[in-house]
Amino acid sequence: MKAKKLSRKGTIMRSRIIHAAMKVFAAYGFKGASTSIIAKEAGIESSHIFIYFKSKKELYLTVLEKFTKDQHKFIFNPYYFSIKNDPELQVRTLLSNWILFLAHNPDYLRLYRWEISNGNSFLLQLKSKPLISKDPFTVELYKVLCEGVDKGVFNPTAKRVETFVSLNNICFGLFVRMEFFQELGLDVVKLAKADANYRNYIIDLCLKLVKC
């Protein structure tokens, strides 16, 4: 009984450290963050971190893995799996879920921007893990676009990598450059969370690139 309590306590503490690390890595990046800052955020001693993680790098990789798994769970919800064989609706749903995920996870956005500036060096190190080997959103979106071309729903350019990159940039770019839009009086995050018409407008822009 005592062992179970310790195990549960350890699981809770590990989760607490990961959530604190998410905020700190998002704010400072891998190089700027320190285990002492993470420990302060978690309300623990720095030495406690190394009970659960061998190094700052291992903790950082764990944070990236959690974000990717959270993204997977959010985007591929039960509704998405109920609309197979309708490529346009699938693309709409994927993009809508992606936009909502980004809007509700600002730390993911900040962390991803640090990764981009660092050449995605740490994300590439997660390739050995089955779920992380390829971004599930990217793989699924490209697959559905190709199926849509085969069914005559999308034009042949939808299979081009350049087109796919453009779709991703339209959605993700809004959040990456949200400070720019805020200067223009546009709160991208607030709109994406609350306004379905705004999300549909962005998705319609994307579909114009691929529809027949």
Residue 187 DSSP SS3 = coil
Residue 134 DSSP SS3 = coil
pLDDT in tens, 74-116: 888 889 989 988 999 999 999 888 888 888 888 887 887 787 7
pLDDT of residue 153: 93
Question: Ramachandran region of residue 203, left (φ > 0), alpha (ψ -120 to 50) or beta?
Answer: alpha
The residue among 47 and 136 whose pLDDT is bigger is 47
**Cβ neighbours for 153, distance < 8 A, ≥ 6 positions apart:** 87, 88, 211, 212
pLDDT of residue 2: 40
pLDDT of residue 169: 74
pLDDT of residue 130: 44
Could you tell me the residue ranges of all domains in the chain? 1-53, 63-208
This prediction has a pTM of 0.76
The residue among 171 and 5 whose pLDDT is bigger is 171
Q: Which of 1-10, 73-82, 148-157, 167-176 has the lowest mean pLDDT?
A: 1-10
Is 62:18 a contact under the CB 8 Å cutoff?
A: yes
Query: What number of other Cβ atoms are within 10 A of residue 184's Cβ?
Result: 6
The residue among 99 and 3 whose pLDDT is bigger is 99
Mean pLDDT over the full length of the chain: 81
Res. 59: pLDDT tops 50 = yes
The mean per-residue pLDDT over the stretch 36-48 comes to 95
CATH code of the region 63-208:
1.10.357
CATH code of the region 1-53:
1.10.10.60
